[in-house]
Amino acid sequence: MQSLLLLSGLLCDETIWSDVARRLTDRADVRIINFPDFKSIMDMAEHVLQGAPDSFALAGHSMGGRVALEVLRRAPSRVTRIALLNTGVHPRRDAEFESRGRLVTLARERGMAALAAEWLPPMMGASASRVAEVMPSLTAMVERQTAQSFASQTVAMLERPEAASILPTIAVPTLLLSGTADRWSPLAQHAEMQRQSRRATLVAVEDAGHMAPIEQPAAVATALAEWLRAAPAAMPQRVSPVDAN
């Protein structure tokens, strides 16, 4: 059975992946990796590689997608396939210093509960009933983090390495996935990443925002299962909408 590493994003832990991972246990040996207190994408990638088997499939959500690309850059022969969810490869934008810095200040001055109330709602794209269902778990996830860990991860994102040049070099089955209502890492951003890739499949998850793995775990698991089944030699370039039901 192949190994599958699921990399968590900013402020995230096992919560974001747990339902997806449960649905994939019959297809892969699944491990979730988190990055509390790391302040460098490069250090995160080294952390993944130090604990990884000789070869593995790799999926990263949000910041975890950036880490996945850095892992691939450093050890391309060990990565059998790569999935990038709700993420991007664009360089830092000028406005990020202010927007990200404001959230760090909020966490330090008013605590993680206040940060969760500010940060999480714009990330969501599912129905109101589904958001109400998952929001307590997501809020608790953020509240388990610390302001210092958030500040460190923010530094990692602000100083992230160039990543766009990696896309044309990827020779393994590649999945690009985003929610149709993701305003943070929109579907159009992933479509542009597909155009820069040699063999990427683009999947649009309906009724999901930036937190697609927990908003619509069945749809995300379905896409990942198909990606895991893809022959190493080929994976079609296409756009595939996945129903949330």
Convert the pLDDT of each residue in 17-53 to its tens digit. Answer: 999 999 999 999 999 999 999 999 999 999 999 999 9
Give every residue of the chain whose pLDDT is below 50, as ranges: 234-240, 242-245
Q: Is the pTM of this model over 0.95?
A: no
Nearest by Cα to 4 from 34, 178, 24: 24
Contact 199, 176 (CB under 8 A): no
Candidates 10, 11, 12, 52; CA nearest to 31 is 52
What proportion of the chain, given as a percentage, has pLDDT over 70? Answer: 95
Domains within the chain, CATH numbers bracketed: 3-92+156-242 (3.40.50.1820)
pLDDT tens for 91-119 read: 888 889 899 999 999 999 999 999 999 99
- In this structure, how many other beta carbons lie within 10 angstroms of the beta carbon of residue 230? 17
Closest residue by Cα to residue 198 from 177, 171, 176: 171
- How many CB atoms are located within 10 Å of the residue 50 CB? 7
Q: What is the separation, in whole angstroms, between the first and last Cα of the chain?
A: 28
